[in-house]
Structure 1
């Protein structure tokens, strides 16, 4: 029986890092991530819904969005499954925050730095294979010298982090080890190394959750598991169908089918949660991409 929250469920991730009561955990993690570069003393959570500049613009919803005491804007995203154009999506998210800094009237384009941190529970073929952390900046192609500190994207590919508990040397490595393995722990490691891990243990202890929070957590876990099962099944059936058309084509079809079906299933479960919170059909449509008819059918199934 797991004792701690799975931090890579949608609800669990936000419970640990996205609340006022646990803000110091996020500050500690970010300071360890950027150790030696700058120190965050405080931060303020911002609106995770980034509305476009025109009515036709696509709305963007972040997992976590905050601003530091020095004005740096930081996006933290968690992604469990690979998807096409994931790197481009992170660039789009980062760019959207920059664009939204623009003001009407006179302005000298003195933008604030925007950093995006992506936790990835998968391997993206566009990033360096075997490398756990990749930092992308604006730099000269020939000499590698940074030309602007206003945009930065940090990709953390968890499958490539293979250190054991005893091999972790820095607090950042300890963070990654804990987050990657936390839902399997019977005890929280590193309690004697840094007090932040004691706070993390308290925040993420399943036994301390209220019934309402436990229900939300279990719903989030079910969504994650169902999406994974659908993804794997679709790949399997695609491969079986592909034997008639060629293995390579079947694999491609299976992967694409799995991604689409898993995403649709996730949107349905997300709609159920939003309906239970009393959100309007229009808002659920914006968040999930489901039609009004689909949302009405989901609502009827809940009664």
Structure 2
């Protein structure tokens, strides 16, 4: 999913900057309130949203992926944690559990370890890649249920949105959730307002679109956007370097084991591990010097 385009008119909402100025817009929460309502499939409008920061460890700017996370609470005390994930992350649900349980523990501690009348926690994950390959639905809401599918507890709710599974065409868009997903996936590909679907004139989406319209940005906003792109590029470079270091470390361990068993030749070890003979020899030399 290409979220940066040199010829773009609109910045992708999935980008660092785009997510921050739409979902994370603390000045005007019109878009966020409607988006949250759609994501949790609620018939009740959210009237107020208040952001809170630095209360949940790791709910900050992720320097590795450059994605902004959001933590906020509505007028009824319901807590929302929203996390974006663009790269592959099969264990993403475990991270969501960590965030939700951290917030739960914070609530209990502040309440002098009382468990009654706790506000709800909605942990929402918006993912560019799939994490549930065996589930067809792109939007899933999960609470604690028994073997008969009866609700045991819904104080903590996990919501996942897998964008790559959403394949609806414009003529199929009906719900606010569909409108939200379609906008997130397609806005940055539009170059002219004449291409706008009619629902992009709805107030909540109109405000979000305005925030990522390059032609409507001030010089300071454009500078912030350019800095976000630069920071993201550096973060991706550093992340790829870490991934490569981990990959090579795994290769070294595999080579060491193969050398120890002595059943394969140097050439066979290199071929099996898809690395050079020189790399195998270097590991062999390193091992012999220990």
Question: Under a length normalisation based on structure 2, what TM-score does the superposition of the two structures give?
Answer: 0.71
Q: Is the 8 A contact 1:138 1:149 kept in 2?
A: yes
Partner of 1:281: none
Partner of 2:198: 190
Partner of 1:102: 108
For residues 104 and 44 of structure 1, what CA distance do their matches in structure 2 show? 18
CA offset at residue 19 of structure 1? 2.0
For residues 211 and 193 of structure 1, what CA distance do their matches in structure 2 show? 26
Partner of 2:286: none
- 1:49-60 matched pairs, under 5 angstroms: 49-50=54-55, 59-60=57-58
For residues 120 and 36 of structure 2, what CA distance do their matches in structure 1 show? 15
Matched, 1:119 2:100: no
Residues 109 and 11 (structure 1), Cα distance of their counterparts in 2 relative to 1, 3 Å cut: same
CA offset at residue 191 of structure 1? 4.1
- Does 1 or 2 have the higher relative contact order (CA < 8 Å, sep 6+)? 2
For residues 85 and 171 of structure 1, what CA distance do their matches in structure 2 show? 28
Partner of 2:173: 168
Structure 2 unaligned regions, length at least 5: 1-6, 61-68, 255-268, 276-290
Q: Is the 8 A contact 2:37 2:44 kept in 1?
A: yes
Matched, 1:27 2:37: no
Q: Is the 8 A contact 2:38 2:176 kept in 1?
A: yes
Q: 1:199 aligned to 191, 207, 213, which one?
A: 207
Residues 245 and 137 (structure 1), Cα distance of their counterparts in 2 relative to 1, 3 Å cut: farther
Question: Under a length normalisation based on structure 1, what TM-score does the superposition of the two structures give?
Answer: 0.68
For residues 30 and 49 of structure 2, what CA distance do their matches in structure 1 show? 9
Select the structure of larger CA radius of gyration.
Answer: 2
For residues 218 and 201 of structure 2, what CA distance do their matches in structure 1 show? 29
Matched, 1:88 2:94: yes
Partner of 1:55: none
CA offset at residue 212 of structure 1? 2.6
RMSD across aligned positions (CA): 2.9
Q: Secondary structure at the match of 1:26?
A: helix
For residues 105 and 71 of structure 1, what CA distance do their matches in structure 2 show? 13
Q: Is the 8 A contact 2:143 2:156 kept in 1?
A: yes
Aligned residues: 236
Q: Is the 8 A contact 2:108 2:114 kept in 1?
A: no
